Structure 1
Amino acid sequence: MTFELDISVFRPDRPGIRKVLGDLEAEIMEEIWSRPAEQGTTVRDIFEILYDRRRLAYTTVMSTMSRLAKKHLLRVVKQEQTYIYYPNYTQQEFVSQFVGRIVEDLLINFTGETLSAFGKQGSFTSAEQARHKLDEITRQRGKEGE
């Protein structure tokens, strides 16, 4: 799948996927990822699980799942009168995507500092890999601009 993830926030002080998702978004995605992907999930499924923990309104869960679909984390299929949500990524794929985006952003916006930080990690390989990644990003952006 080639969806462009909508990740516009990074909170370094938050744990795990909450670095890029809100608490409720992360909780919903964790519930969805805990199920077989091909099974699909309804708003009611998630609402019933979260209601005991958080006393949320059904509409809050519905609007949050809709927002996750707009961010391309979920896709929606309408079956009769019910909307079924499916993850576009496994949890590991999502983490890889957002880590890649963050590293790419650091390389583009803070090239010297990012390369220096990789070098200070004591791994010449990491710094060299970061330079290759920066070259690849630069080439790709050059092609897109043509």
Structure 2
Amino acid sequence: MTFQLDISVFRPDRPGIRKVLGDLEAEIMEEIWTHPGEQGTTVRDIFEVLYDRRRLAYTTVMSTMSRLAKKQLLRVEKQDHTYVYYPNMTQQEFVSLFVGRIVEDLLINFTGETLSAFGKQEQIGSVEQARHKLDEITRQRHKEEQ
């Protein structure tokens, strides 16, 4: 399953996944990822955990989980009269996806500067890997345009 992750905001000063998600979205996803993925989670499950910490309204949690489903981070299934949410990816898969998207954006928009920054890294081969990634991105974009 391929996901087009919409990253319209990147906050370098924020920790972890809060760099690309809001605080409540991140908190909900982190809680969902503590459960086995195939088990599913309800709004009530998340609300009860978060209420003690934040005193949120049930509808706030519900609308945020619905927004996460629209962003394709969650999928939702109706079971009887309850909506059950399942993560579409693990936390590590999410991190890899957004890091890849950010690196791709940097390579496309700031090619020279990004390659130069990779060149200053101590890891041998990072510049070659970045150039290879840029070539791969360029080929893919060219294919998509045709």
Task: Look up the equivalent residue of 2:12 and give its one-letter code.
Answer: P
Alignment of 1:1-146 (within 5 A): 1-146=1-146
Please give the alpha-carbon distance, in whole angstroms, between the structure 2 residues aligned to 1:16 and 1:54: 20
Runs of 4+ with deviation above 2 angstroms? none
Question: What CA distance in whole angstroms lies between the structure 1 residues aligned with 2:5 and 2:140?
Answer: 18
Q: Which amino acid counterpart does residue 56 of structure 1 have in structure 2? A: L
User: Distance in 1 between the 2:6 and 2:133 partners?
Assistant: 21
SS in structure 1 at match of 2:21: coil
The superposition leaves residues 24-68 of structure 1 with CA deviations (integer Å, 9 ceiling, x where unpaired) of 000000000000000000000000000010000000000000010
Q: Secondary structure at the match of 2:41?
A: coil
Distance 2:44 2:20 in 1: 25
RMSD: 0.7
Matched position secondary structure for 1:37: coil
TM-score, length basis structure 2: 0.98
Give unmatched runs, 5+ long, in structure 1.
none
Gaps of 5+ in 2: none
Give the number of the structure whose residues are more often helix, by fraction: 1
| Deviation, structure 1 residue 16 | 0.3
Give the AA of the match of 1:133: K
1:122 to partner: Cα distance: 2.8
Q: After superposing the two structures, state which structure 1 stretch, 24-33 or 116-125, moved more.
A: 116-125
The CA distance in 1 between the partners of 2:42 and 2:122, in whole Å, is 47
Q: TM-score, normalising length from structure 1?
A: 0.98
Offset of 1:7 from its aligned partner? 1.7
